[in-house]
Structure 1
């Protein structure tokens, strides 16, 4: 006997922070193109930083440049301290 799987449609709602699967939408200021090489083929992942701030992590496959941008920011990349909550060069740095 063969069982047939039922297909269920899940209501589309907001994608939770930290999800890799995200729908389209307007790009945040600073995330349209790589700030180092200008490529527009970027990986963008919306999530919360360990400090609880909503941000977008942007990675460029072309030059491997990476940066974080606050959802409520002005397009300026966040510092390591803004993202981790620890001063650069402090405990845990260089891992």
Structure 2
């Protein structure tokens, strides 16, 4: 059926007023704001890290870091000095009540 306007592009043209879908991000996408101290692993020094921006239950914005080399994990407050939070501190800040 040539010229019928089928397919995703053909359907999309008929949707007026609908917002374009938001592009999906990437865990490795540059440009995200990360906390001080997250440039390299605090355990082994590797720069091969996964970094995620998270908000704990108490409202603390942190960057969670997981090392690809040694699997060390840590949480760094965005407004911190580059010192990671202890696991107990993350649990305390994440509990409700």
TM range (shorter): 0.5 to 0.7
Which whole-Å deviations, capped at 9, do the CAs of 1:49-71 have from their partners, x for residues lacking one?
13321100000010000000001
The answer to whether the 8 A contact 2:27-2:50 is kept is no
Where in structure 1 are there 5+ consecutive unaligned residues? Answer: 87-95
Partners of 2:69 and 2:11 lie apart in 1 by 42
Where in structure 2 are there 5+ consecutive unaligned residues? Answer: 14-19
The answer for the alignment partner of 1:6 in structure 2 is: 12
Whose Rg is larger?
2
Report the aligned-residue RMSD: 3.1
More helix by share: 2
The ranges of structure 1 where at least 4 consecutive aligned residues each deviate by more than 2 angstroms after the TM superposition are 5-10, 19-23, 25-28
TM-score (norm 1): 0.66
The answer to whether the 8 A contact 2:55-2:61 is kept is yes
